């Protein structure tokens, strides 16, 4: 069994926060791949299903972000899931909005959810870093991650969440590079259509 953890804070007041992009991603994985209903387990909400022929548990810790490890650790240990089979989806300030990177282990870089998992379980989990961008000033970070995505950000957020759901089988197959490439491909903006032979090309602002 693999364990896919989405990080966030519980409650409707946090549901659309930038910090909750991990919750959004696992919700889409559950929906797209027909997982069971969410149920309470080890201070979290869990759903079970199958992706790419492997049994998978999705987990949303309900302990608040800075205590995520109190949910992830007991769940992984109970099911005897090693750190390398735990995938954590989380918001990443140091990536441009809509960008995705996958890595194993490393420092928490100030992310309280990752820090808690490292302290209470392991630092060797696989991490899916979902870029939300940086507010530009470290003093603004707390307010930034705990505020809702702006309406204009939906243009990249919704395609990103959808792409993560579509590409999830590659994560299960441990093709992390393939997963990141697939998400990047799915989230590319559509290219402008070339005029057919005999058609006039679209006007530009410089035309007279």
At 30-75, the pLDDT tens digits run: 999 999 999 999 999 999 999 999 999 999 999 999 999 999 999 9
Q: What is the pLDDT of residue 109?
A: 84
pLDDT(204) > 80: no
pLDDT(202) > 70: no
For the residues 94-120, what does the mean pLDDT come to?
95
* DSSP secondary structure code for residue 66 in this structure: G
What is the CATH class of 2-186? alpha beta
Contact between 122 and 115 (Cβ < 8 Å): no
Contact between 144 and 159 (Cβ < 8 Å): no
SS3 category, 57: strand
Contact between 202 and 86 (Cβ < 8 Å): no
Confidence of residue 119 (pLDDT cuts 50, 70, 90): very high
As a 3-state breakdown, the chain gives helix, strand, coil percent values, each rounded to 5, of: 40, 20, 40
Confidence of residue 108 (pLDDT cuts 50, 70, 90): confident
pLDDT digits (tens, 9 = 90+) for 129-140: 999 999 999 999
pLDDT(177) > 80: yes
Average pLDDT score, the chain: 94
SS3 category, 58: strand
- What gap in Å lies between CA 93 and CA 14, rounded to an integer? 18
Contact between 18 and 73 (Cβ < 8 Å): no
pLDDT digits (tens, 9 = 90+) for 143-173: 999 999 999 999 999 999 999 999 999 999 9
Just list the catalytic residues: 19
Q: What is the pLDDT of residue 168?
A: 98
């Amino acid at each position: 069994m693999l364990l896919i953890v989405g990080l966030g804070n519980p409650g409707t007041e946090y549901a659309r926060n930038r910090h909750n992009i991990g919750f959004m991603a696992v919700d889409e994985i559950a929906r797209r791949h027909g997982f069971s209903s969410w149920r309470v387990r080890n201070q979290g909400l869990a759903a079970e299903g199958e992706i790419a022929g492997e049994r998978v548990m999705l987990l949303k810790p309900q302990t608040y972000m800075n205590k995520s490890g109190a949910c992830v650790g007991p769940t992984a240990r109970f099911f005897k899931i090693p750190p390398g089979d735990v995938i954590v989806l989380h918001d990443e300030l140091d990536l441009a909005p809509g960008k995705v990177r996958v890595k194993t282990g490393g420092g928490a870089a100030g992310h309280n959810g990752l820090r808690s998992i490292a302290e209470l379980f392991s630092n060797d989990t696989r991490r899916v870093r979902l870029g939300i961008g940086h507010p530009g000033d470290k003093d603004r970070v707390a307010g930034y991650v705990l505020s809702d995505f702006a309406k204009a950000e939906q243009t990249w957020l919704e395609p990103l969440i959808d792409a993560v759901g579509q590409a999830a089988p590659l994560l299960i197959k441990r093709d992390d590079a393939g997963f990141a490439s697939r998400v990047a491909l799915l989230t590319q903006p559509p290219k402008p259509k070339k005029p057919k032979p005999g058609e006039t090309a679209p006007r530009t602002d410089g035309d007279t």
